[in-house]
């Protein structure tokens, strides 16, 4: 559980409480809509085409702009190099 709690999270993210809250809620809403869209796409694969992939990529880009120096991005960079 240690890795799930970080009392220095806002400082490390370089964000204010409100800025972090707005971004987190926005991302949660996008992910909720992605869940609904993914269920629809699973049942009706001809709907939504690759729009869900586009939303995921745009979401990742926005998160990268919010915390560009976080080491977790190295995983994505390595995967994209393959």
Residue 74 pLDDT > 70: yes
Q: What digits encode the pLDDT tens for the residues 27-53?
A: 999 999 999 999 999 999 999 999 999
CA torsion 20-22-25-31 (nearest 10°) is: -90
Residue by residue, DSSP assigns the chain as: -GGG--TTHHHHHT--HHHHHHHHHHHHHHHHHHHHHHHHHHH-TTSSTTHHHHHHHHHHHHHHHHSTT-TTHHHHHHHHH-
Say what the pTM is.
0.80
8 Å CB contact between 59 and 27: yes
Q: What digits encode the pLDDT tens for the residues 17-27?
A: 999 999 999 99
């Amino acid at each position: 559980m240690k890795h799930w709690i970080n009392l220095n999270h806002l400082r490390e993210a370089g964000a204010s409480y409100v800025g972090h809250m707005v971004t987190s809620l926005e991302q949660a809403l996008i992910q909720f809509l992605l869940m609904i869209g993914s269920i629809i796409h699973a049942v009706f694969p001809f709907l939504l085409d690759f729009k869900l992939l586009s939303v995921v990529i745009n979401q990742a880009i926005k998160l990268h702009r919010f915390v560009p120096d976080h080491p977790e991005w190295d995983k994505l960079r390595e995967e994209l190099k393959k």
